[in-house]
Amino acid sequence: MTLRFGVVGTGAIGREHIDRITNKLSGGKIVAVTDVNQESAKQTVEIYQLDAVVYPDDKALIADENVDVVLVTSWGPAHEATVVAAVEAGKYVFCEKPLATTAEGCMRIVEAEMKQGKKLVQVGFMRRYDSGYVQLKQVIDNNEIGAPLMIRAAHRNPIVGENYTTDMAVTDTLIHEIDALHWLVNDDYKSVQVVFPRKTKYSHDKLQDPQLFTIETNSGIVMSVEVFVNCKYGYDIQCEVIGEEGIVKLPEFSSVVMRKDEKLSTGILNDWKYRFMDAYNVEIQDFIDSITKKGEPEGPTSWDGYIAAVTSDACVKAQQTGEKEAITLQERPAFYNEKELQTV
Ligand code: NAD
Ligand code: NAI
Ligand code: ISE
């Protein structure tokens, strides 16, 4: 069986996912695309030589009976409307983060999905499929470092554009740690506080950069997470978990070690595309395989999207108030309790 994908949003990551589904993975095929920039949608069909219909908008694409799965890779603010419409039409959805830009928006998706009576949606939190994070989780779950006490993490991008603002350090960037860190330690968040250190000269008026988030969980684990999106030197993701019996750290991205000119050096990547390439491949292959073999996706759910949105709202509030802000989730519906997320 081949799953037929319709893609909404043919920008950077939309094209990356189209390329992997068409040329690298098995069991999926792109049959339809759309983008508010219709030229971009048409170009994408040409570049990847797709046998796909170009639709004027997401509604027309969702209505195509040849589309089994809607792949949502448009801008974050457009996600909710597309996901709700696709779920109401009974289609499977793979939605890039954020699921929706507000907790209320995520809840509307959760309600639409529960009404359909089966899981249809997976959110693009690919770190759960990254082999480094999977190894960290195994160590923690096997109790090899005892109870986790603290986490030190950093999310660094080399540079961002003028349209990237202070709140996006949370909604666009920290959102990956928000999803991955509570999943790593099997805990829920309780509060967050933000500190703005001295601002880098490489930032602009509307962006405070870097930022330091202190997030506490219900069991008292304290996580210190740096977001620094004009760090200049590369794309760098760090995570160290300090436990009662030992410490475990995310491996560095593998790169050759060079001895030259009296220096010992290894490369650092400069783009998320390369750092998480394997994770994206595993993530989408798992999405295809779960639906094909078990009838529903088994990755991060709409409820995970909701948890991330509630936490993200509290982080943005903490940016504005400078105070410790509470993170309060609604009770998890039994619908989302059935199975543990399967990873690699
Ligand atoms: P992008 O700006 O390159 O592409 C977005 C595309 O969506 C554009 O072509 C735009 O014209 C189109 N679009 C916007 N609104 C639309 C709508 N209503 N209908 C149809 N098309 C629409 O952005 P990007 O970097 O590809 O990011 C897209 C999404 O992917 C974002 O949600 C982003 O957070 C996410 N993303 C995730 C990762 C990750 O690591 N998981 C990495 C990059 C981007
Ligand atoms: P992008 O700006 O390159 O592409 C977005 C595309 O969506 C554009 O072509 C735009 O025209 C189109 N678009 C926007 N609204 C639309 C709508 N309503 N209908 C149809 N098309 C629409 O952005 P990028 O970097 O590809 O990001 C897209 C999404 O992917 C974002 O949600 C982003 O957060 C997420 N993302 C996730 C990453 C990850 O690591 N998981 C990495 C990069 C992006
Ligand atoms: C981008 O949208 C991503 O999701 C990347 O993983 C992240 O590193 C980057 O900061 C975001 O802009």
- CB 196, CB 207: distance < 8 Å: no
CA nearest neighbour of 5 among 46, 61, 89, 49: 61
Q: Residue written as tokens 């982080």?
A: 315
Does the C-beta of 171 come closer than 6 Å to ligand 3? no
Does the C-beta of 272 come closer than 6 Å to ligand 3? yes
- At 326, is the secondary structure helix, strand, or coil? strand
What's the 15 CA to ligand 1 centre distance in angstroms?
10
Domains of the chain: 3-127+278-307+331-336 (3.40.50.720), 130-269 (3.30.360.10)
ipTM over 0.85: no
What's the 235 CA to ligand 1 centre distance in angstroms?
19
Q: Measuring from atom 20 of ligand 2, which residue has the nearest CA?
A: 35
Atom number, ligand 3, closest to the C-alpha of residue 229: 10
Token pair belonging to 292: 């094909």
Q: Measuring from atom 7 of ligand 3, which residue has the nearest CA?
A: 173
The pLDDT score that the predictor gives to residue 68 is 98
Cα–Cα distance for residue pair 106/302, rounded to 1 Å: 7
Phi then psi for residue 45, to 5 deg, are -60, -40
Does the C-beta of 172 come closer than 6 Å to ligand 3? yes
Cα–Cα distance for residue pair 330/53, rounded to 1 Å: 41
Pocket test for ligand 1, best of 62, 75, 95, 273 (most atoms within 8 A of CB): 75
Cα–Cα distance for residue pair 261/226, rounded to 1 Å: 33
In order along its 344 residues, the chain shows pLDDT tens digits of 899 999 999 999 999 999 999 999 999 999 999 999 999 999 999 999 999 999 999 999 999 999 999 999 999 999 999 999 999 999 999 999 999 999 999 999 999 999 999 999 999 999 999 999 999 999 999 999 999 999 999 999 999 999 999 999 999 999 999 999 999 999 999 999 999 999 999 999 999 999 999 999 999 999 999 999 999 999 999 999 999 999 999 999 889 999 999 999 999 999 998 999 999 999 999 999 999 999 999 999 999 999 999 999 999 999 999 999 999 999 999 999 855 444 44
What's the 241 CA to ligand 2 centre distance in angstroms?
31
Cα–Cα distance for residue pair 141/125, rounded to 1 Å: 20
- Residues with Cβ within 6 A of ligand 1? 8-14, 34-37, 40, 58, 73-76, 78, 96-97, 124, 126, 172, 272, 276
Atom number, ligand 2, closest to the C-alpha of residue 75: 14
Cβ partners under 8 Å of residue 30, min gap 6: 5, 6, 7, 18, 21, 22, 48, 50, 52
What's the 96 CA to ligand 2 centre distance in angstroms?
8
